[in-house]
Amino acid sequence: MKVGVECEYWVVDETGALHDGRELVTAHECVEPEFVAAMIEVKTPPVASERELRETLQSTLRTVLAAADTAGLRLVPLGTPLAEGTSPIVSDRGRLLERIYGDGLTPATQCAGTHIHFDAGNVARQVNLLTALDPALALVSSSPYYVGEGGLSASRPHAYRTLCGPEFVRFRDLWEYTSDAGAWDEHLDAAYESFRAIALDRGVTAREFATHFGSDDVIASPIRVRRDFPTVEWRTPDTALPSQIATLTGDVARLVAQTRTKTVEIGEPGVGPHRIRVPPFEELARLTAAAMEDGLASRAVWSYLERLSIDPRNYRPIAAEIGSRTRISKPDARRLRLEYADRLEEDVRTLLDGVSACQHPFSDARGVSGAIATGTVHGEFRDLL
């Protein structure tokens, strides 16, 4: 199994203010513009191991960071700009979305995430497992503030999914488990038609809509099945330091690889020799809410991730480092952007340090801790919710 990663980064100037970053797109073939001017996306080709992912990210980011330095710009790995950031929408699709969403598109202009593409296999199993991994957003959360307001460990997914307007939440929030690939396709086609109806009602022509939207990409929910690649795309995580994203990708990819031979069933969460069990969706939703609010400080989230063979001790989320007060000022937000621009550059320099254990292919289950992977648990799961 191969994996591709897309990391979004804010572009700032030497004062920490958001800045048009489109000139950096020409620095490397794996860099693309985003729909707002002050954000770029760094992509990797499909890779087969965590080490290969780290090598690719390091090579690309070194080139982009050199171009940014020449232009007096910096890259920032934060899920939001912390304080409100102003950056114009610059793509045709983005302007069309603005016509459809109206003010409901504003949260998307304040959010930077990570998208991880897994080779499509048993799609229903992959979708359901990745759905169940939504609380893993706590592992790399980097957005303790949204437009200056604190209070959440992960404000990006909360804002992106729920502040877009009540008629659009269904296109951005986490979907329930699917019974099979056909049921997922039916749900997706229905969402496409619903979104198309809203768009046409708001003055978008049928030709405009067809030009910019397909059934694969009309929704912006945390899981997307891309028929054109084909991949299953996991859009849950914030952007973060490359080393954090590489570690997360390795942990999740080794779980996804197991869906080739293991069923994914609802029950007491755990990874066993023949099946992976995930909680009922209602319990999952409570865990995701706890992950957004408290991050890894939530005992329930920590224990749940352990049950799914992910060791939270391997993660140091940026959001936990920054902390979250009631509000953050624009000067403090700019200072933190520059601080984490420094951290990004250092992280790129050391991205291959001590990664000899990361050479195994993602499809190799040796990357999963034995005690955790066999479903060994501590305490009572339901008592933690």
Band (pLDDT 50/70/90 cuts) for residue 379 is very low
- Residue 370's pLDDT band (boundaries 50, 70, 90)? very low
Lowest mean pLDDT segment, chosen from 7-21, 192-206, 279-293, 361-375: 361-375
State the average pLDDT over residues 242-247: 98
Asked if the model's pLDDT at residue 363 lies above 90, the reply is: no
Query: Rg of the chain over CA atoms, in angstroms?
Result: 20
- Residue 272 has what pLDDT? 97
Cβ proximity of 110 and 287 under 8 Å: no
pLDDT at 62 over 60: yes
Question: DSSP letter string over 191-232?
Answer: HHHHHHHHHHHTT--HHHHHHH--TTTS--SSEEEETTTTEE
Confidence of residue 365 (pLDDT cuts 50, 70, 90): low
**d(C-alpha 254, C-alpha 118), whole Å:** 11
Flag the least confident range among 69-73, 355-359, 371-375.
371-375
Q: Is the pLDDT of residue 373 over 50?
A: no
For 357, phi then psi, to 5°, come to -80, -5
**Vertex 20: Cα angle to 249 and 242 (nearest 5):** 15
**Quick one: which of 272, 288, 299, 310 has its CA closest to 134?**
288
Q: Higher-confidence residue: 17 or 360?
A: 17
Give one DSSP letter per residue of 112-145, joined into a string.
-BEEEEEE-SSHHHHHHHHHHTGGGGGGG--BS-
* CA gap 198, 189 in Å, rounded: 14
- How many residues are recorded in the chain? 385
Which residues does residue 36 pair with via DSSP β-bridges, in sequence order?
89
DSSP 28: -
Mean pLDDT of 201-223: 94
Is the backbone of residue 379 left (phi > 0), alpha (psi -120 to 50) or beta?
Answer: left
pLDDT attached to residue 310: 98
In DSSP terms, 226 is beta-bridged to 231
* Residue 257 pLDDT grade (very low, low, confident, very high; cuts 50, 70, 90): very high
Q: What is the largest CA-CA distance in the chain?
A: 57
Whether residue 366 is predicted with pLDDT greater than 60 in this model: the reply is no
- Which pLDDT score is estimated for 376? 33
Query: For residue range 337-348, what is the model confidence (pLDDT) as tens digits?
Result: 999 999 999 999
Q: Compute the distance between CA of residue 296 and CA of residue 317 in angstroms, rounded to an integer.
A: 8
Region 194-204: mean pLDDT is 97
* Best mean pLDDT range from 211-220, 225-234, 240-249: 240-249
Give the model's pLDDT for residue 382: 30
In the predicted model, what is the mean pLDDT of the chain?
A: 93
Tell me: pLDDT of 359 over 80.
Answer: no
Long-range contacts of 144-147 (CB under 8 A, 24+ apart): 144/82, 144/319, 144/322, 144/323, 144/324, 145/80, 145/82, 145/83, 145/322, 145/324, 145/327, 145/328, 145/333, 146/80, 146/107, 146/110, 147/80, 147/83, 147/84, 147/110
User: Does position 83 have pLDDT exceeding 60, yes or no?
Assistant: yes
Work out the number of other CB atoms within 10 angstroms of the CB of residue 150. 17
Q: What is the mean pLDDT of residues 243-248?
A: 98
What percentage of the chain has pLDDT greater than the value 70?
Answer: 94
Q: Are 140 and 320 in contact (CB under 8 A)?
A: no
